[in-house]
Amino acid sequence: MPALELRPNCELCDMDLPPFSVDARICSFECTFCAGCVARLSNVCPNCGGGFAPRPIRPSTEWRPGLSTTHRPASTTRVHTPYSQVELDDFADRVKAIAPQDR
């Protein structure tokens, strides 16, 4: 079955976000940030303008055949935002007053 990439870090502060992290947040395109940076971004994904949700935890225990982090490991490709802090703040300021469901 298709699966989330589970990217290994926050795009903005580079904090590690392992598959079991409760601090990981993703947008619908799987842009991945930590909870602290999502708050700083006013819940505006700087890449797509959408909102964020907590990233589901992938189990490390194989409760069902083949469906654990052992068999379906997280991505190891670190992603970093191409935008400067000023650009991020400007973008969030343009979008944040609109609720995610209305964007």
Specify the residue, 15 or 57, whose C-beta has the smaller distance to Zn ion.
15
* 14: region left, alpha or beta (phi > 0 left; psi from -120 to 50 alpha): left
The minimum distance between CB 56 and Zn ion, in angstroms, equals 17
20 binds Zn ion (CB under 5 A): no
State how beta strands 53-54 and 24-26 pair: antiparallel
Dihedral angle of Cα 41, 46, 50, 56, to the nearest 10 degrees: -70
The minimum distance between CB 76 and Zn ion, in angstroms, equals 18
Dihedrals φ, ψ of 13, to 5°?
A: -100, -5
Which of 85, 10, 12 is CA-nearest to residue 55? Answer: 10
The minimum distance between CB 25 and Zn ion, in angstroms, equals 9
Binding residue for Zn ion (CB under 5 A) from 6, 10, 26, 74? 10
The minimum distance between CB 9 and Zn ion, in angstroms, equals 8
Segment 36-75, which members bind Zn ion (CB under 5 A)?
37, 45, 47-48
Applying CB under 5 A, the residues found at the interface with Zn ion are: 10, 12-13, 15, 27, 29, 31, 34, 37, 45, 47-48
